[in-house]
Every structure is written in structure tokens, then in C-alpha cells.
Amino acid sequence: MAAYMRIPKTCQVLLNVNYFSSAIGLRVRVAFSSTTGNPEFTSKRVRSMFTEFFRDWHRHKLVPSSPVRPRGDPSLLFVNAGMNQFKPIFLGAVDPRSEMAHYRRVVNSQKCVRAGGKHNDLDDVGRDVYHHTFFEMLGNWSFGDYFKEEACSMAWQLLTDVYGIPPDRLYISHFGGNATLGLPPDEETREIWLSLGVPPGRILPFGMRDNLWEMGETGPCGPCTEIHYDHVGGRDAASLVNQDSPEVVEIWNLVFMQYSREADGSLRPLPQLSVDTGMGLERLVTALQGQRSNYDTDLFTPLLSAIHQSSRCPEYRGRTGRADEGNVDMAYRVLADHIRTLSICIADGVYPGMSGAELVLRRILRRAVRFSTEVLRAPPGMLAGLVPTVVEILGDAYPELHREKERIMDIVNDNEAQFLSSLKQGRGVIDRTLQKMGGAQLFPGSVAWSLHRNLGFPLDLIGLMLEERGVVVDTEAVDRLAAEEEKLKTQTQCPDRESCTELDLYSLSELQGTGIPHTDDSPKYHYSLGQDGRYAFPCCWARVQALYSSQALVSEVGEGQRCGVVLDQTCFYAEQGGQTHDQGYFIRDGLQDVLFPVEAVQQVGGYVVHQVTPGDALRTGDRVQLFLDKAQRLACMVKHTATHILNFSLRRLLGDGVQQRGSHVTPDRLRFDFSVRGALSGQQLQEVERTVQEIIARNEDVYVQELPLTLAKRIPGLRTVDEVYPDPVRVVSVGIPVPDLINSPTDRPTSVELCCGTHLLRTGEIQDFVIVADRQLVKGVSRVLAVTGETAREAREAGHALVQEVESLSARLQSAGSALFSAHRLSKEVGLLTDAVESTLMPQWQRKDLQHRLKAMQRTANTAIRKLETSEATEKAQSLLKKHGSKAVVVDTVEADSISVVMKVVNQYSDHAPGSKVMLLSHLQSGRVLCACQVPKGCSSLSASDWALAVCSHLGGNAGGSSTVAKGTGNTQDITEALRWAEEFACAKTQH
């Protein structure tokens, strides 16, 4: 440990503090005040000082924050730490062509959301003054470069010299070890802090919960050392560290990435040692501005002021717990926090919805609405009115907030209105349930869960609403229903198939360590269009570099042993960029009659892995010949090029506000998700479709060229999506050569995108294009499905045929006679045709038009039926009145084919004989009996529902209704006996 007892080398070469301070325009304070802070320490200044410190003086690359929606990581709902975007580096799985593969030292300010999964602070927000769902993580990283000594030295220098925080305000925690897992205490880190001059009494060991950092249930992790800040000072506050004290809070966490948490809970060493640090900007600013609460800094005070002006509530006073009467200050904090989260998430394309991250955001929005309306009594729309203030505070650091401001406000307003409507509906459900409970004190868990799951009611809101009525929720039932839904969700999810294609961390590291070169997959682009109009896909010879089976690299696999095959080169396309993987087979040199089917293809860390179930033995070093499923590849090329043209056409019609939110290309169809205000109309869909078809008809050339990423991004009109692109990158342009886009910019709009997919060489090969479905995924995001080629032609023909059927039925409906039977038949035909329009593959714009027409036709048919039934019922009721008059009990038969007619006859009879108890039965040829009855309102001796239920049960059927009107069905061959039994039942009840 002697090496750590000296002053580290890093400290000897650290910046001259005064020079650095003057360079960034801020004088370091000699005296640090806990009560006043430094007015020059604005949040913007603190953020820039951090990034400039590491960028300018320690050679860190400044990278932008990634969006809060994780890139291709299903284990996370949101980006919850600064290291999330660098996870492929920690795992050794980064694409070697990407810029990220060359990162060694990095710094940034990362947008983070902790409102779901392992790190979830949602329920704590508002209760204290330092928890948030959205926060900014200032971080510096080393990927196999410096480690513990340099990381601690830099952190200490920045905090004490640059920011001027007195060392006696700081406490250090470090990992104290875990005997069960065989992890020793991190004494190395303790010695480093001692060498930096930190007193031994301020360096405190803690266990895994506090000082072994893990990103999620699985993935990179390691021991960490945390720096805690004492807001009071002038005392020994060691006993308050990690005790959730608002006076002593953690501000910086230095994580030493050494392990990967496996699915079985074990820890395995990472291929390289790395550093991941994270310091919450909000807490740092609080300390530097001399505040005790994050909400008293310039990151929040403008929001609190805006809330006060909009709600007309008492000013924010910063109270918590019992001192916060009516939870008013808690509501202020909830709104200020949640509107930041909503703004950031929506700007990054995460919209309130019904599953995953979208569901969490929906809960956040509704929690904010609840506090806004229930506690602060603010008017509707106030929440969205806070968005411009968020943009003003954070927009300089995150420019997407400026671009998306209007969309954010629209989505917040729409969802608030929807929830307020649900609140009204939910209150009605609660009121009706309480009436049925008859004074019971335990509210049914099934009703509470339904309100929560279907109407989006926060469970705590349900509890508060019931508490006002002196009732509590059956929480055991709610927990049971929640567990059942989670179990069902797990069962219905696709089971994780045993994957031989995704190399595990250690096998990937072994491949890299043995010097096996990355797979050359450029042959996947080697195809041409012949003079005969056919695409030629040449086969490809390759050599087996590695075999992967049962989570290990092996030298040989036997027949039927499912495995992953790494080749030195391949013409197969690995799934990426929204395009599904190729299929096909290869044969082994010298074994021409045995096929090795390729079932899936994936790219991992620069290696292309083919999932194969061999038909014979396969060894490393074997030479194989690859054969592509040409029809499947060509179908994907058609759909992918059509997707680019669709993207262009949507922007051309709806404006540049359209942003791609996802896409998927298969041989059968394409799917495209995009941000847009409201659902697309049938006319808009038709116009988009027409634009795509025009480009197809022009048979334009599709140009593809590799360019340096920085040059490609300068192309006017270039469309990109949120992902890490390789460098160089492939530019796909329709109709205009790529060099012309750079050297001779034109005003002619065209489709130009960065894309690694495979594309047609001319647009005419698409042949035809039809949008067959569209829907809103969530407010502000729509999805379209489309087909091409022969399938599109068939869809168009199917649509034309249905149009003719609808027109024919419409004509027959208009000329229909006065027969009730004919009216019912036509109504049934309308229903069958409606089902056909709903389920048939056809143009979506045409489907919407036909659905609109069929709804109108259904209304016309139903109106005609009601009129004919009323006329027929009037005639039959008059006949029965002549027969029975105003008898006390009337039981008889009536000829009618529908229960609706029977019911109308009963109603009309009762209107003319209000004192009579009437039951009519219709005996159909099949033996089925239709029953309807009505008794005078207020009749205590006989209930209509009891009467109908007794008779229909006697006939082997069932019935239902109210005390005055009821109906049902049964079966009998002796209707006379049924009439007698019904009348005797009524008379017996009346006599009693």
C-alpha cells in the first residue's frame, strides 16, 4: 500500500486552480458560506464548469446526453444513470466501427429518470426536498484508462479547489466487503483517500446496499466510493452518512466497474477495469448555492413561482411532513419535479401510454394532475403552462426541449383532459360501489384494481378518496390481483429462447483476446440488377473462425447440436436498423449434400454470429459456402426502400415535425412509427400512399455511398434516428447521387437517410404500395403497416370488391320494403360486411371510408327496424287489449320473431292498461320461448324480474331485468302448460 501513501501523480499535474478559474470566468471563493452560497454558481455555470474541467484539463471527450429512452436495452425502462449509453463498452460488445469504440475518457451531463425498475424514486418525490424522478447526472468515465487513484484525485480537486467546498464538509464512504460473495473490503480506495488528506474518521466502510453499485438486475457493477456533503458543517457528522438525513447527503458516486452481475446472481470479472462516476447536478447546485433544499435552487424556483402564479395558492414555504398542512408544499414539489420529467421524456419520444416506460410516464402525469387539481385547486391546463419555464431552465443544455415545446404542451393537455374525465367516471364507480356495500368498511379490491388498471387511478388517490368516506381498500385483494396480472404477463410473454447467437461477455472477450478479426460482412451489399430485371446475389465462401455452444467457445459441434457460427466473412445480413435478419444455408467444403440451415443472424461486438443446427459435424477452420434465401432478402430490400420513401412522404405531407420513432422490416410487411399530432385521416393516408406510388412509378435510382459521419451529417434534409452510427456511415438517397447532395445542394426534396440496411437499386422494383393499417400507439405517436408488390395489388383489388358490395347493399337498403324480416336480413348483412371490411387486407384510407358509410347504413337499418317493430307491436297490442282489457294479470302468447318486438308489445299494452301485470310469450318453431313482462311501478306483491326468472327457469332458461320490466328465454314443446304455470305464479304472489 506504500504506493498510495504518497501524493498521487495525478495531483502533481492537475491544473493551476487560479488559471482554470479565470479561464472559465469564475473566481473561486476562498471562504465558502453554507447560508448564502455563491450567487455566481448558477446551475448553468456549475454544469459547464464540470464538463470543462474534465474536457480541457484531463483530455476527456465531451459527449451529448443520450435520450432517456434506452437504446436497444430491454432491461431498462429509462436511462437511470450516466453510464447507460456506455454499457456496450463495459461489456466489450461495442460496434468496432462506431465512434464509441474509441472512447477512453469521456465526460457529459446525462438526463436520467428514476421512476421504475431497480432505481425508483417516484413515491419519495415531494415528501422530502432532495428526491427527483428526473435529474441530471454529471459524470466522467474511463474505459480501460485510469482507475481508482486518478478518479479520486480528480474528484477531490474539482470539489475542493475548483468549486471551493471546504474539505471539512465532506465525508467518504467505501465498500466494506461481503464475506458471503467472497468480496474483500476495498482497502485500496481507503488508502487513496488517506493519501489525499482525508482524515481516517471521515472515511467510512459500508456494505453492498450502499457501496456496491449495480445498474440493474444484471449487467456491469462494482464497488463504489461516495462523497457526502454536510449542509451544517463545523461538527462531526459521520454518524449521519447513509442515514437518509437531509443534512448529510451523497453528492458524488465513483464506481469502479470490475464485475458483471449474471442472471444467476453471481459476479464475474469484466474484461477491463473502468471508472463510472455520477454526481447529481441538483444536489451539487444546492450545496454551492448555500441551500438546504434542491427546490430552493435556480433549477426549481422559477417553476415554484410559476405554480404559485397559476394556482393562486399560498407561496411555497419548503415545509415537509406534519408541518406541511394540507400537503400544499409537497404538491408544489411534485408538480415542479414531474413537469421536468414529462418535458424531458416527451421531448425524447417517450409518451404517456399503457405499458412499460409509457405506463410509468402516464402514472407520473396523473400523479401531477391529482396534486394540481386536488391539492392546489389549479385550473385545467396549468400543468402544460409550466412547460415554457422548464424549457427556459433546461433548454440551453438540452436543445430538443425548444424543438418539442409545442408537442409537449399538447400531449400534457390531452392527457390531463383524459384523466380528469376518468376521475369523473371513477368517482361515479366509487359512489355506486359504496351504495351497494350498505355501510361495510372494506372497499372491494377488485373495484379498486379496475379503477387503477383501466382508468389509471393512482392507488393512493383511491385510498384518499375512500378515507374521506371512512372506508379502506382491501389491499390484500389488490396485491393479489396485481400479482396475478404480473404472473399472467410473464406467462404470455415470449419465453427467452436459448440463444446461441448472442455471445456472452466472456466468450466475446476470449474471441477478442485471441486476435480473431471481426467478421467482414461487406459481401451482404454485393448484389446487382441484371439486364433481365432480376437481382443477382452471388454466393460467398468463408471459413469458420469460432463455434459457440452452451455458453462456451468450442472447437467442434456435432450433428443436431444447435450453435453459433462465426465466419471470417459473410453475405448474410444480421438483424439491425429495423431490418430482420437473412435466412439461408451453407454447405461444408467436401460435403455438398448436407445443408447447414441458417436460422438467425446477429452482430455482437463486430462479430456476425449465424445460428445453425448442423446436419453434420462442423469444426473451426472448416471452409463453407453460403447461400442466401434470395426471395426473403429481396422482399426485405423492397420493404426497406419503401420505408424510406414512406418516411419522406409523411414529412412532405405533415411537415418536418414528423420524427421516426421506430420501424421494422420483414419480408411480409413494413411497420413505421412516427410522432404526429392526432390520428391520420383517410384523406391524409391516401395522399401519403399516392406520393409513395408516384416515386415508385418514376423508377428512380437508389444511391448508396459510405461517407465520414461528420460529412454525412452536413447533407441538407438528412434524416436520422436516435442511435449510435458507425463511422463511416452509409447514406441512402433516392433519385439524387450522394456526391450531388454534398457538392451541389438542390431544392428538390428527396429521401436521404443514414442506414445500414439493404436496399433496392431502383424504386420501380417495389411495384406497388398500400398502407393497410394505422393506429395511435399513444397520444402523439402513430403506427402504420404497409405491404408492397403483389400483396399490395391484391389488397387494392380486395378493397375495390368491398366498395362494390357496400354500394350494392346501400342501394338495396334504400329500396327496402316494409317487411320486418327483410329489414332484419339487411341489418345482418350490414354487420357481416362491417366485419369483412375490418378484417380484410385493403387500403386503410378505403377501410376508413367504408367503415364510416357502414356505420351510417347500420343506423339507417336500425331506425327502419325500430319503426317496423313499433308498428307491428302497436297492432298486436291493440288485438290483445280487445281480448283481455284491463285484467289484473294478463298472460298470453304473441307471434314475434324477436324479443324486441315482444318487449314493445308488453310496453304498449301496459301503457294502455297501467294497472295490469302483463307477461307475453312467443313460441318459435324451434321450441324456443321468448318471454317479456311488466308490472305496475310500486307493486310490492310481484317483481317483474322475479316473475320472468321463475318462468324462464321453469322452461330451462334464464331471465333478468328490474322490478318493473324484465325479459328472458326458455324452451318448451307445451306452450299451453307454460302459460298456465306463468299465470298461476303471478296470481299466487298477488294473493299473498
Residues making up the annotated binding site for Zn(2+) are 640, 644, 755, 759
Which of 461, 577, 569 is CA-nearest to residue 524? 569
CA atoms within 13 Å, Cβ hemisphere of 457: 25
Q: Name residue, grid cell 436495452.
A: 73
Q: Provide the phi-psi class of 311: left if phi over 0, else alpha when psi is between -120 and 50, else beta.
A: alpha
H/E segment holding residue 567: strand 563-567
Measured distance CA(219)–CA(87) in Å, rounded: 8
Considering all CA atoms of the chain, what is the largest pairwise distance in Å, rounded to the nearest integer?
A: 116
Three-state SS letters, 513-541: HCCCCCCECHHHHCCEECCCCCEECCCEE
Phi, psi of 466 (to 5 degrees): -80, -30
Phi, psi of 278 (to 5 degrees): -150, 125
Measured distance CA(762)–CA(698) in Å, rounded: 9
Long-range contacts of 521-525 (CB under 8 A, 24+ apart): 521/569, 521/570, 521/571, 521/572, 521/573, 521/574, 521/603, 521/608, 522/569, 523/569, 523/570, 523/571, 524/570, 524/571, 524/572, 524/573, 524/582, 524/758, 525/704, 525/758
Measured distance CA(883)–CA(142) in Å, rounded: 98
Do the Cβ atoms of 508 and 607 come closer than 8 Å? Answer: yes
Helix, strand, or coil (residue 226): strand
* Grid coordinates belonging to 881: 287489449
Angle at which helices 328-347 and 301-311 cross, to 10°: 110
Measured distance CA(391)–CA(397) in Å, rounded: 10
Which of 62, 69, 45, 72 is CA-nearest to residue 105? 62
Residues 494, 497, 499, 504, Cα dihedral to 10°: 70
Three-state SS letters, 232-259: CCCCCCHHHCCCCCCCEEEEEEEEEEEE
Give the CA radius of gyration of the chain.
36
Alpha helices in 934-974 (DSSP H): 944-954
Measured distance CA(124)–CA(876) in Å, rounded: 69
- Residue 483, burial from CB neighbour count under 10 angstroms (0-12, 13-18, 19+): exposed
CA distances from 887 to 880, 882, 883, 948 (A): 11, 11, 10, 19
Specify binding-site residues.
640, 644, 755, 759
CA distances from 951 to 55, 944, 966, 982 (A): 87, 11, 11, 6
Measured distance CA(49)–CA(72) in Å, rounded: 32
- Residue 986, burial from CB neighbour count under 10 angstroms (0-12, 13-18, 19+): buried
What is the DSSP track for 106-138?
Answer: EEEEEEEE-EETTEE-GGGTTTSSS--SEEEEE
